Amino acid sequence: MFARLLALALVVVCGPANADAGGDAARGETLFQECKSCHQVGQGAVNRIGPHLNNIFDRSAGASEGFRYSRGFERAASGGLFWTYETLNNFIENPRALVSNTRMSFRGFSDPQDRDDVLAYLRQFSASPSNIPESAPTAAAVDHAVAPEILAIVGDPAYGEYLSGECTSCHQISGVGAGIPSITHWPTDDFVTAMHAYKVGVRAHPVMQMMAGRLSDEEIAALAAYFETIN
């Protein structure tokens, strides 16, 4: 009898962690097949091509011991990237929008339901999953992908040079300086994607949000063209 009660109590305490969750963890487990070639999660998970994903919620990015992250990822981590439902959601939607030059070559899940489900699955392998906030329904519905017509704009490097004075007070032409990342010689798509991520708030840095928020799509394209080819 006691054992039965104990078993029952355990089910209540440890039972399906997402009973009240928006995401469907069972469907998320199936979707996780797409991550499994690189990531392990659960008991005994170790780093492989990608870091293991145990306890990924509520910790700093790039903190899996013994894993060698890319420089782009280390840059984002030292810039304060922290994993919450929202930042993970943004990362899985489009890894390179959140972290320039990440080694995670994954096109992303464009369907918000897919992201919700895979995160509901991953949540079970983090401490106190029931304390991890769910997505705000509106947040998950926003489409952060950069429209192809924005990426297709061909920028004018001369105009970009004219605009760049606002940037080079912080970003050194010669490369990294005082903790401020280098933005020269980037493929224009990556540059535009990063600027757009600040503009729409996917990237959290307040100064860069303000800078990008003031620029039109044409101005961003011009800056991308200028910084790509600068000597």
Which residues lie near ligand HEC (CB under 6 A)? 34-35, 37-39, 49-51, 53, 56, 61-64, 69-70, 72-73, 75, 79, 88, 91-92, 100, 102-106, 109, 118, 166-167, 169-171, 180-181, 183, 191, 194-195, 203, 205, 207-208, 211, 223
Supply 83's token pair: 């994993």
* CB-count exposure of residue 72 (10 Å: 0-12, 13-18, 19+): middle
Instruction: Compute the distance between CA of residue 121 and CA of residue 98 in angstroms, rounded to an integer.
Output: 22
| Distance from C-alpha of 223 to C-alpha of 168, rounded to nearest angstrom | 11
Neighbours of 133 (CB within 10 A): 10
Q: How far is the CB of 68 from ligand HEC (least distance, A)?
A: 7
Q: Is 37 exposed, middle or buried (0-12, 13-18, 19+ CB in 10 A)?
A: exposed
**The total number of residues written for the chain in this structure:** 231
Report the C-alpha gap between 146 and 105 in whole angstroms.
17
As measured in angstroms, the least distance from the Cβ of 150 to ligand HEC is 15
Q: Which is nearer to ligand HEC, 10 or 210 (CB)?
A: 210
CA atoms within 13 A on the CB side of 92: 27
Shortest CB 138 distance to ligand HEC, Å = 22
Name the minimum Å distance from CB 183 to ligand HEC.
5
CB nearer to ligand HEC: give 17 or 223.
223
- Closest distance of CB 136 from ligand HEC, Å: 19
Give whichever of 15 and 80 is closer to ligand HEC, judged by the CB atom: 80
CA pair distance 27, 126, nearest whole angstrom: 18
Closer of 35 and 146 to ligand HEC (Cβ): 35
- CB nearer ligand HEC, residue 17 or residue 89: 89
Question: Residue 45 or 142: which CB sits closer to ligand HEC?
Answer: 45
CA distance 156 to 149: 16
The least distance separating ligand HEC from the CB of residue 8, rounded to whole angstroms, comes to: 33
